[in-house]
Amino acid sequence: MTSDEKRASFSLASIYALRMLGLFLVLPVFVLEAHNYPGGDNPALVGLAMGIYGLTQALLQIPFGLASDRLGRKPVIVAGLALFAIGSMVAAWAPSLTWLVIGRALQGAGAISAAVTALLADLTRDQVRTKSMALIGVSIALMFALSLVIAPALVPYTGLAGLFWITFGLALSAIAVVVWVVPPEPAQHVVTSRAGLREVLANAELLRVDLGVFVLHAVQIAMWMSVPTLLREAGVATAQQWQVYLPAVAGSLLVMGGLLFRLERMGYFRAVYLGTIGLVALVQLGFVFSVGSTPSVWAVGLLLGLYFLGFNTQEASQPSLVSRLAVPRQRGAALGVYNTMMSLGIFAGGVVGGLVLKAWGSEGIFLLSAALITVWLVLAWPMKPAPANG
């Protein structure tokens, strides 16, 4: 990469990271803290509050991307981050769970993912774009991991409202990065045609990845309606749950960086990709057996470590795979559809997870997650090697 490409890649990945950290920060403690709000005893409403930002993101992802084609990437990104900041303030002030739903919806309305990835495509050459896209995927995985470690430690001192105020600060920091750190955007943008979007939706290889990101994030949100409670049943108080998350996350990152990425470079991308999907499915079945009895902290920690290994590998691989599967003139449309499916997965995970938890408990959530991932694995199995990025 040139120095400008490195600056663009790291600064835009940091914007993505700051925003995703703000969205993920409440995830490990939301279910436990929601009981302190009027309406917090309704699992379906709690699930809606957790996942609603995914719906507003999905609805506005493509409009924000189109607006960035016409108005410029940076102004649209700043506007989206401002909406995210306003939503964070509403959520921090919220006197009831209904107002939390409204705040989370406003957070998701700042749907800048497509605009950020489009700007990254504008500022990088084809031959280094895969690395840049992978950097965004890694940043999402790291922010999710970081949120699991710091949120349980912070919430006893800040409460849920305090976490949303931290999110507000993260949004302002991201705006500062856009204004003062991200390189100037090119004078002209390529507007994605409707024909390009139709071609993307007809591409079976891209649709496999789109299905994957939907399932990956639906399961992520649904799981965390049960995992904090499972840890508490294992004797780990909310404030100490980071002591389980941290080793699990750190171990998964070490294996991912030391082994899985090396296997990918050796030409085993398909095996790693499909293998980690299967691993996440097996983890869900492991959680099924942990429900209904007093779970062992060591067993839950091991399952979480294996889950993070699969999740983080997928999160780092999928954006890179999309950028390699799509021809250059389709890349913007492909990333727009990919980000929309990610957002829809987040929404579905929260809403369906809440309904399933209410009807069948944690066992139902883990069984449904295992079934969804198995379907994903079956449909992903015929995948073909992605072409070299050129």
pLDDT one-digit tens code per residue, 217-270: 999 999 988 998 899 888 888 878 888 988 888 888 788 777 766 776 777 888
Give yes or no for residue 90 having a pLDDT over 90.
Answer: yes
Provide the token pair at 140: 């999402």
Q: What is the pLDDT of residue 390?
A: 45
- Mean pLDDT within 288-306: 88
Provide, rounded to the nearest whole percent, the portion of the chain with pLDDT above 90: 37
**Residue 108 Cα to chain centre, angstroms:** 12
Query: 189 near 73, Cβ under 8 Å?
Result: yes
pLDDT one-digit tens code per residue, 207-232: 999 999 999 999 999 998 899 889 98
User: Which one, of 135, 201, 226, 167, lies nearest residue 341 by Cα?
Assistant: 201
- Mean pLDDT within 131-159: 82
Amino acid identity of residue 139, one-letter, is S
Q: What is the pLDDT of residue 62?
A: 78
Mean per-residue pLDDT over the chain, rounded: 86
Confidence of residue 104 (pLDDT cuts 50, 70, 90): very high
pLDDT one-digit tens code per residue, 156-194: 999 999 999 999 999 999 999 999 999 988 765 445 455
- Mean pLDDT within 307-328: 81
Q: Greater confidence, 54 or 196?
A: 54
Q: What is the pLDDT of residue 94?
A: 95
Any idea of the CA torsion for 246, 249, 251, 254, to the nearest 10 degrees? -130
pLDDT one-digit tens code per residue, 33-47: 988 899 888 888 888
Query: 348 near 372, Cβ under 8 Å?
Result: no
Q: What is the pLDDT of residue 127?
A: 67
| pTM, 2 dp | 0.80
Helix axes 43-71, 73-93, angle to 10 degrees: 160
- Mean pLDDT within 347-352: 90
Q: Greater confidence, 64 or 193?
A: 64
Q: Of 58-62, 141-145, 367-371, where does mean pLDDT reach its minimum?
A: 141-145
Q: What is the pLDDT of residue 302?
A: 94
Q: What is the pLDDT of residue 168?
A: 96
Q: What is the pLDDT of residue 105?
A: 94
Residue ranges of domains in the chain, CATH in brackets: 3-380 (1.20.1250.20)
User: Which one, of 109, 117, 121, 168, lies nearest residue 140 by Cα?
Assistant: 117
